[in-house]
């Protein structure tokens, strides 16, 4: 006999006995309570844990709909089965739509135990999915070395703090702190000890600050500190002084004393920026200045911006590169797994630099975002991608082209107009275009992102969430966005055959994505076994070196002629 914690919403004692009897015959040992009013049900739900709820349809003071909403309001996801003598088919359907899992007629109680078996199993599956979603979220939010919030989460905290209205007497300060010569520690003492040092620094920073202040690890040896409510005046320097004092005492790593110095850059809100992204960028510029001079803390000033390292060197050349056609696009096909059709390709930008050769986007996209060059770059990519897409069409091949959109472009209010113009220039239709955006782009300013995405989506353009799983979003939070597709980040896909955690994440993203009616694409598919595993999980599309490396347009066209993956041709 399996124990079953059973809550029975029922006014008749006799009917309760019949129900208990049916459960026992089905192999269950119910520990039960019977309730027949909203008050008593609420009290029982709060008092202990339950496995399942049975409810009569109508009772003198209560009914199944009210019981259902009570259950929902209490935040519990328990199987809810209506057991009734009176319910008609139509009302049963309404009840199921309202969230009941099953209904059983009182004169057909032999169906009860099998229904319980099934609903308990389903509830278990739902629980596991929720946990997987939680895990994805947690992993995406915390830095594994220090257990502090990571850069993404830090950005979110900053955004949240900005929304909290402030009085004129208060400012918000964002500090970026970079440890000096940390690389030496890593090189001489090894990574494990380097990590220990980072953890200890994190702990010390945390211990100096108020609980309402935020400490995050932004990556490498960079920490971010957010002081959301700072009185104007001398407060800031007091805090900075305290931070520096606390770092003075050497850190003990396996008995070895290590002295740490740090460069701190500060930017203030509203003085130096009006949004989270700019605030962060300005704090970083100030930090770079601190690193290059003898002062250990620099507060941002607009003059610094002119000398920021991103502005120098490569960026000056990038502008010319866009104008002189030194950029090029590679295309990587996206294949539909079930049919082996190639239905689209992702456009990936490269820079053919006269001295450094072919530069990958990692080398210049971030800096381009910081300097505003990302807009002309993005427009160039869009025009070229649509043009090539039309060239394919002229050869009778239908390809939907995916273009990566940077966070900064997404927040440009003119984006929809610009895209409409590019579509018109290329005589392309919106259905030929998919825009890939990352989760972090949405986090920066969710309201603006939603508005822009809605406009784009209404135009008929597909929206895809790129690198899913690496950012902050849980699927639940993109539910209300007009999204058509999610791309599971390659870091999960590449190792899914050997790493159980990755496999679990891939599986649950596919399931949850499908539950939301989204297409799910796996990127980074590097071998046949992975493709087979994805096919079994019902993943819709795949992209990766196993299918094809990214190639220039002509090479893509010859590949399409020779491969077993079939393009969609004019009929
Ligand atoms: P992404 O959008 O996630 O693009 C997929 C990246 O994964 C590409 O790197 C691609 O070459 C690589 N990749 C493809 N198949 C595999 C595989 O099987 N295994 C592995 N390990 N990697 C694979 P790429 O071209 O270096 O692009 C890197 C990132 O740069 C892109 O990531 C995207 O975020 C950004 N990017 C590329 N082009 C543009 C652009 O035109 N505009 C903007 N804003 N960003 C771009
Ligand atoms: Mg992409
Ligand atoms: Mg990606």
DSSP output for 296-340: SEEE--HHHHHT-GGGSTHHHHHHHHHHTT-EEEEEEEEEETTTT
Better pLDDT: 278 or 196:
196
> What is the pLDDT at residue 305?
66
Question: Is the predicted pLDDT of residue 31 greater than 90, yes or no?
Answer: yes
* CA-330 nearest atom, ligand 1: 25
Q: Which of 350, 405, 490 to mutate to test the pocket of ligand 1 (most atoms within 8 A of CB)?
A: 490
Distance 394 CA to ligand 1 centre (A): 27
Q: How far apart are CA 277 and CA 289, in angstroms?
A: 19
Read off φ and ψ for residue 331, nearest 5 degrees.
Answer: -120, 135
Straight-line distance from the first to the last Cα atom of the chain, in angstroms, rounded to the nearest whole number: 62
> What is the pLDDT at residue 385?
98
Protein residue with least CA distance to atom 41, ligand 1: 349
> What is the pLDDT at residue 277?
87
* CA-406 nearest atom, ligand 1: 44
* CA-368 nearest atom, ligand 1: 44
Question: Is the predicted pLDDT of residue 92 greater than 70, yes or no?
Answer: yes
Distance 429 CA to ligand 1 centre (A): 24
Distance 457 CA to ligand 3 centre (A): 20
Average pLDDT taken over every residue of the chain: 89
In the chain, what percentage of residues exceed pLDDT 70? 95
Better pLDDT: 461 or 285:
461
Q: Which residues surround ligand 3, an ion (CB under 5 A)?
A: 466-467, 523
Protein residue with least CA distance to atom 42, ligand 1: 404
Protein residue with least CA distance to atom 21, ligand 1: 524
- pTM > 0.75: no
Confidence of residue 475 (pLDDT cuts 50, 70, 90): low
Confidence of residue 310 (pLDDT cuts 50, 70, 90): very low
Structure tokens at 29: 């040992």
Protein residue with least CA distance to atom 8, ligand 1: 348
Question: Is the predicted pLDDT of residue 36 greater than 50, yes or no?
Answer: yes
Better pLDDT: 40 or 1:
40
Instruction: Specify which of 83-92, 131-140, 195-204, 291-300 reaches the highest per-range mean pLDDT.
Output: 195-204
Q: Which of 333, 374, 402, 404 to mutate to test the pocket of ligand 1 (most atoms within 8 A of CB)?
A: 404
Q: What is the pLDDT of residues 511-557, one digit of tens each?
A: 888 988 999 999 999 999 999 999 999 999 999 999 999 999 999 99
Q: How far apart are CA 150 and CA 139, in angstroms?
A: 10
> What is the pLDDT at residue 146?
94
Ligand nearest the Cα of residue 434 is 2
Q: Minimal CA–CA distance to 490: which of 303, 348, 307, 320?
A: 348
Q: Which domains does the chain have, with CATH numbers?
A: 2-139 (3.40.50.2300), 151-304 (3.30.70.270), 309-569 (3.20.20.450)
Confidence of residue 79 (pLDDT cuts 50, 70, 90): very high
Question: How confident is the model over 464-478, as a mean pLDDT?
Answer: 75
The single-letter DSSP state of residue 374 is H
Question: Is the predicted pLDDT of residue 429 greater than 70, yes or no?
Answer: yes
Q: How far apart are CA 508 and CA 485, in angstroms?
A: 15
Distance 415 CA to ligand 1 centre (A): 22
Protein residue with least CA distance to atom 9, ligand 1: 348
Distance 435 CA to ligand 1 centre (A): 14
Least confident of 14-18, 104-108, 455-459: 104-108
Protein residue with least CA distance to atom 45, ligand 1: 404
Question: How confident is the model over 15-41, as a mean pLDDT?
Answer: 96
Q: What is the pLDDT of residues 245-302, one digit of tens each?
A: 888 889 998 888 888 889 999 999 888 887 888 899 889 888 988 887 777 899 998 8
Q: What residues are in contact with ligand 1 under a 6 Å CB criterion?
A: 332, 348-349, 360-362, 365, 378, 381, 404, 406, 436, 466-467, 490, 494, 523-526, 544-545, 550
Structure tokens at 413: 């209010």
Distance 437 CA to ligand 3 centre (A): 9
Ligand nearest the Cα of residue 469 is 3
> What is the pLDDT at residue 370?
67
Question: Is the predicted pLDDT of residue 213 greater than 80, yes or no?
Answer: yes
Instruction: Specify which of 166-170, 292-296, 413-417 reaches the highest per-range mean pLDDT.
Output: 413-417
Q: What is the pLDDT of residues 439-459, one digit of tens each?
A: 877 766 778 888 999 999 999
For 180, counting Cβ atoms within 10 Å of its Cβ (0-12 exposed, 13-18 middle, 19+ buried), the class is middle
Distance 305 CA to ligand 3 centre (A): 31
The SS3 call for residue 551 is strand
Question: Is the predicted pLDDT of residue 69 greater than 90, yes or no?
Answer: yes
The SS3 call for residue 6 is strand
**CA–CA distances in Å: residue 96 to residues 68, 91, 99, 508:** 10, 9, 5, 25
Question: How confident is the model over 35-60, as a mean pLDDT?
Answer: 95
Q: What is the pLDDT of residues 329-348, one digit of tens each?
A: 999 999 999 999 999 999 99
Distance 466 CA to ligand 2 centre (A): 5
> What is the pLDDT at residue 70?
94
Q: What is the pLDDT of residues 353-409, one digit of tens each?
A: 887 788 888 878 877 876 678 999 999 999 999 999 999 999 999 999 999 998 888
Better pLDDT: 534 or 91:
534
Distance 405 CA to ligand 1 centre (A): 12
* CA-348 nearest atom, ligand 1: 38
Question: Is the predicted pLDDT of residue 44 greater than 50, yes or no?
Answer: yes
Confidence of residue 307 (pLDDT cuts 50, 70, 90): low
> What is the pLDDT at residue 167?
67
Distance 491 CA to ligand 1 centre (A): 12
Residue 36 and residue 62 in contact, taking contact as beta carbons nearer than 8 Å: yes
């Amino acid at each position: 006999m399996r124990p079953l914690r059973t809550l029975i919403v029922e006014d008749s004692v006799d009917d309760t006995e019949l129900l208990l009897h049916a459960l026992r015959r089905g192999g269950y040992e119910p520990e039960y309570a019977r309730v027949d009013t909203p008050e008593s049900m609420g009290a029982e739900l709060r008092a202990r844990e339950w496995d399942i709820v049975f409810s009569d349809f109508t009772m003198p003071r209560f009914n199944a709909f009210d019981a259902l909403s009570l259950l929902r309001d209490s935040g519990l996801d328990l199987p809810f089965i209506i057991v009734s003598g009176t319910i008609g088919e139509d009302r049963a359907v309404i009840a199921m739509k309202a969230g009941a899992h099953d209904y059983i007629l009182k004169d057909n109680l032999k169906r009860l135990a099998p229904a319980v078996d099934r609903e308990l199993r389903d509830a278990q599956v739902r629980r596991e999915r929720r946990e997987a979603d939680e895990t994805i979220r947690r992993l995406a939010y915390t830095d594994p070395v220090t257990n502090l919030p990571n850069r993404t989460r830090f950005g979110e905290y900053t955004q949240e703090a900005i929304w909290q209205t402030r009085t004129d007497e208060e400012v918000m300060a964002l500090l970026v702190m970079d440890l000096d010569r940390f690389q030496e520690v890593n090189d001489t003492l090894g990574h494990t000890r380097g990590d220990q040092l980072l953890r200890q620094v994190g702990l010390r920073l945390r211990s100096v600050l108020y609980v309402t202040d935020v400490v995050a690890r932004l990556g490498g040896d960079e920490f971010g500190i957010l002081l959301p409510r700072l009185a104007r005046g001398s407060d800031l320097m007091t805090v900075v002084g305290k931070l520096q004092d606390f770092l003075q005492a050497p850190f003990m790593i396996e008995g070895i004393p290590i002295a740490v110095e740090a460069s701190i850059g500060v930017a203030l809100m509203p003085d130096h920026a009006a949004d989270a992204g700019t605030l962060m960028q300005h704090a970083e510029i100030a930090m770079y200045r601190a690193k290059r001079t003898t002062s250990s803390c620099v507060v941002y000033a607009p003059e610094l911006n002119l000398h920021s390292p991103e502005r120098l060197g490569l960026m000056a050349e990038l502008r010319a590169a866009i104008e002189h056609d030194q950029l090029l696009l590679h295309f990587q096909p996206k294949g539909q797994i079930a049919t082996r059709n190639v239905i689209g390709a992702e456009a990936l930008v490269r820079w053919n630099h006269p001295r450094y050769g072919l530069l990958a986007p990692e080398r210049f996209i971030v800096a381009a975002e910081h300097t505003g060059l990302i807009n002309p770059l993005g427009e160039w990519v869009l025009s070229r991608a649509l043009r090539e897409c039309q060239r394919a069409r002229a050869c009778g091949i239908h390809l939907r082209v995916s273009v990566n959109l940077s966070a900064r472009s997404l927040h440009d209010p003119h984006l929809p107009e610009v895209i409409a113009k590019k579509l018109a220039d290329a005589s392309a239709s919106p259905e030929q275009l998919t825009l890939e955006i990352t989760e972090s782009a949405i986090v920066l300013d969710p309201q603006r992102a939603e508005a822009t995405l809605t406009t784009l989506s209404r135009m008929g353009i597909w929206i895809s969430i790129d690198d899913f799983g690496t950012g902050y979003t849980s699927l639940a939070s993109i539910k209300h966005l007009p999204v058509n597709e999610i791309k599971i980040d390659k870091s999960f896909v590449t190792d899914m055959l050997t790493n159980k955690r990755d496999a679990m994440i891939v599986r649950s993203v596919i399931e949850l994505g499908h539950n939301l009616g989204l297409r799910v694409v796996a990127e980074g598919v590097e071998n046949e076994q992975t493709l087979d595993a994805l096919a079994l999980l019902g993943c819709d599309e795949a992209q990766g070196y196993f299918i094809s490396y990214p190639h220039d347009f002509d090479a893509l066209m010859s590949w399409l002629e020779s491969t077993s993956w079939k393009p969609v041709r004019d009929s």
